[in-house]
Chain A
């Protein structure tokens, strides 16, 4: 096999098919007054990895990003980047490209001046010449597909265009790491989806470690190599999108990553009982009183003499071949989703049937 067809990283990393560590965050704590924003957070990102920090507002994800940028000083902990102690470096020496939630474009400068800013503030001997700067700006404008807008001011751009200028400005300094704070937060859904793919491609081409903050689980799962889920300043789970979706660490993660239905149950002697439905409990499930979670679209409908939870249909909303079925189970109303052939025949309000969760997740009762 020709040598250049394989990555020449160290054998250990090769075995796992991954590149070496680049960002190491350990034991970071930070509080604002009495409010703890980050509580002993430790996580790693590999070189050129696309890492998402996902969490509800107030989970500390933006604070963590600002710690990485050097805009906040943590109370405790360590950040290393490529082996270097990052916390001892001032902001300006870290060479991180940061894209702010509201872009923070310099409002009194043109797009081209914005992008060139990072180059023009370099110490004189490292500063590129005027023509080199102009060339670099032109390249970046091309990269973000805004070739003709160099002379405009930020106020004359749309949200999506501003976001791309912010990205070009961050890339101009050839950053060692890209930090994105809710990069799509201020955009409408359509633009958001377009930019998402484009951003991922840009990341792959630029080849820098990227950390991005979002509260949108779909965005994180769709875009990132790995997702770190934060809650109340703590890291709850870290894993690939598939790992966190398939094996949520706790009910919070399960609930946060998608629509969830919850029912109380009991596990005794390897049998799981939820209301009148009994089934074999998974081997790793806790004993005693449990909470059973399932996704509203991961259920199978059966006639009343089949297996599953007894339910009564309260309302049906048909959407082409699919249907949203509101069911009363155990005195609680659930909005379930059925697709195509999964829609029970003759489903109508008043119908009694059985609902079998296909992939229930079981957590010890809170």
Chain B
């Protein structure tokens, strides 16, 4: 996962051609793309439909598959809005105010990017697992976090934590706070200013961030795997469901579930490209970093 997107519709690239080399580079990247991206994508759909569309639909209509889909949607539906709210708040603080510890906060926000997702899952087990810090207290009060939806949500939140904030910070820093100041002098209150000035100014970048956050939230494997316990029909999200089926040698089922995730990826890609194409200006701050 990378945030360093290629430049879209920005500065024109000067075209100095190095004879021979250009063709070589184009060919090399075409081959790499085909082998590393298109071929696996083809394999996913090929194997999913290997035994016919009937078998494919049956795998998806399987109760465990349906509960995995529902759980994935539920986890994303909780984690993504929370991270969007957090991202807006953090970006607002960092972009519009000067305070001590700003650099530390920026680093902390980036931490999930640099940390293995397994660690992001493990910390929750260490905190809330049966042998964890709060384990006995939780058991005494009959609260289940690990091996339950709560744990999945926590792990997902931690992993997808930087997406929205990272998307908004450069844009908001670029925009400064003059427009907000102007709104205040014109008689607007704090909330009016936020709803009518701040939010509309970041709407496309926010959508972009939410899109990436959502894709990651639904596709997360490592962190979720640690806290899930792989209880079929209960705590398996779609990526975990793929793993469970694959280990059971149910290849059609595994690839059918994988094809759903791949489709999600493709849809995200289309929406993302659409945003970049249509609203490049309002995402511009990102492209420069």
Our pick among A96, A97, A106, A169 for the contact of B197 (Cβ within 8 Å) is: A106
With A106-B197, A121-B192: A100-B181 Cβ-Cβ less than 8 Å: yes
Q: What separation, in Å, do the CA atoms of A170 and B178 have in the docked complex? A: 14
B179→A173 contact, CB < 8 A: no
What is the interface size of chain A, counting residues whose CB is below 8 A from a CB of the partner? 26
Within 8 A of B (CB), among A59-107: 69-71, 91-98, 100, 102, 104-107
Contact, CB under 8 Å: B201 / A173: no
Chain A residue contacts of B181, Cβ below 8 A: 69, 71, 91, 98, 100, 104
Which of B11-19, B183-191, B211-219, B262-270 contacts its partner? Answer: B183-191
Contact of B186 among A71, A107, A108, A117 (CB under 8 A): A117
Within 8 A of A (CB), among B172-216: 178-179, 181-189, 192, 196-197, 200-201
Chain B: CB-nearest residue to A32: B98
Q: A98-B182, A100-B182 are in contact. Are A108 and B187 (CB under 8 A)?
A: no
Is the CB–CB distance between A92 and B178 below 8 Å?
no
List of B residues within 8 angstroms of A104 by Cβ: 178-179, 181-182
What is the minimal beta-carbon distance from A159 to any residue of chain B, in angstroms?
15
Neighbouring A residues of B187 by C-beta, 8 Å? 92-93, 95, 118, 121-122, 173
The smallest beta-carbon distance between B9 and chain A, in angstroms, is 16
B187 shortest CB reach to chain A, Å: 5
Pair A92/B184 contact, Cβ less than 8 Å:
yes
Q: Which single residue of chain A is at the shortest CB-CB distance from B199?
A: A108
Q: How far is the CB of B88 from chain A (nearest CB, A)?
A: 16
Interface size class on chain B is: 10 to 19
Q: How many Å lie between the Cα of A93 and that of B189 in the bound state?
A: 10
A71–B185 CB distance below 8 A: yes
A117 CA / B192 CA spacing, docked (Å): 11
Decide: A117 near B201, CB < 8 A? Known: A100-B181, A104-B179, A104-B181.
no
- For B184, what are the chain A residues with a Cβ–Cβ distance below 8 Å? 70-71, 91-92
Which A residues lie within 8 Å of B186 (CB)? 92, 117-118, 121, 169-170, 172-173
**Do A108 and B188 touch (CB < 8 A)?**
no
Contacts of A121 in B (CB 8 A): 183, 186-189, 192, 196
Number of A-B contacts (CB under 8 A): 63
Cβ-neighbour of B178 out of A95, A96, A102 (below 8 A): A102
| Alpha-carbon gap, A107 to B184, bound state (A) | 16
Q: Which of B181, B185, B187 has the most CB of A within 10 A?
A: B185
Interface string of A131-175 (1 = CB under 8 A from B): 000000000000000000000000000000000000001101100
Contacts of A96 in B (CB 8 A): 185
Q: How far is the CA of A104 from the CA of B185 in the complex (A)?
A: 12
Query: Of all chain A residues, which has the CB nearest B180?
Result: A104
A180 to chain B: closest CB distance in Å?
12
The listed residue (A93, A108, A169) touching B200 by CB distance below 8 A is: A108
Q: Please give, as numbers and ranges, the residues of chain A lying within 8 Å of B178 by CB-CB distance.
A: 100, 102, 104
Give Cα A172–Cα B183 distance, bound, in whole angstroms: 13
The docked-state distance in angstroms from the alpha carbon of A117 to that of B276 is 30
**Quick one: closest B residue to A181, CB to CB?**
B178
Which residues on B sit within 8 Å (CB–CB) of A173? 186-187
Name the residue on B nearest A95 (C-beta): B187
Which residue from chain B places its CB closest to the CB of A155 in the assembled complex?
B281
CA of A169 to CA of B186 in the docked complex: distance in angstroms? Answer: 8
Kindly report which residue of chain B lies nearest to residue A122, judged by CB atoms.
B187
Contacts of A169 in B (CB 8 A): 182, 186
Contacts of B182 in A (CB 8 A): 98, 100, 104-106, 169
With a cutoff of 8 Å between Cβ atoms, the chain A residues found around residue B201 in the complex are 107-108
State A92–B185 Cα separation when bound (angstroms): 5
Residues of B within 8 A of A102 (CB): 178
| Smallest Cβ-Cβ distance to A102: which chain B residue | B178
Chain B residues with Cβ below 8 Å from A93 are: 187
B281 to chain A, nearest CB (A): 8
Residue of A102, A117, A169 with most partner-chain B CB within 10 A:
A117
CA of A108 to CA of B279 in the docked complex: distance in angstroms? 12
For B189, the chain A residues whose CB sits under 8 A away are 92, 121
A117 contacts across to B, CB distance below 8 A? 183, 186, 188, 196
Among A71, A92, A97, A169, max chain B CB count under 10 A is at A92
The reply to whether A98 and B183 contact each other, CB–CB distance below 8 Å, is no
For the complex, give the distance between the alpha carbons of A93 and B188 in Å. Answer: 9
Q: A104-B179, A106-B182, A122-B187 are in contact. List 14 more A-B contacts (CB 8 A).
A: A70-B184, A91-B184, A92-B184, A92-B187, A92-B188, A92-B189, A104-B182, A107-B179, A108-B201, A117-B186, A118-B186, A118-B187, A170-B186, A173-B186
A residues with CB within 8 A of B: 69-71, 91-98, 100, 102, 104-108, 117-118, 121-122, 169-170, 172-173
Which 3 residue pairs spanning A and B have beta carbons closest together? A104-B178, A118-B186, A104-B182
Residues of B within 8 A of A (CB): 178-179, 181-189, 192, 196-197, 200-201
* A-B CB contact pairs (8 Å), 17 listed: A70-B184, A71-B184, A91-B181, A92-B186, A92-B187, A98-B181, A98-B185, A104-B181, A105-B179, A105-B182, A106-B179, A106-B182, A107-B179, A117-B196, A121-B183, A169-B186, A173-B187
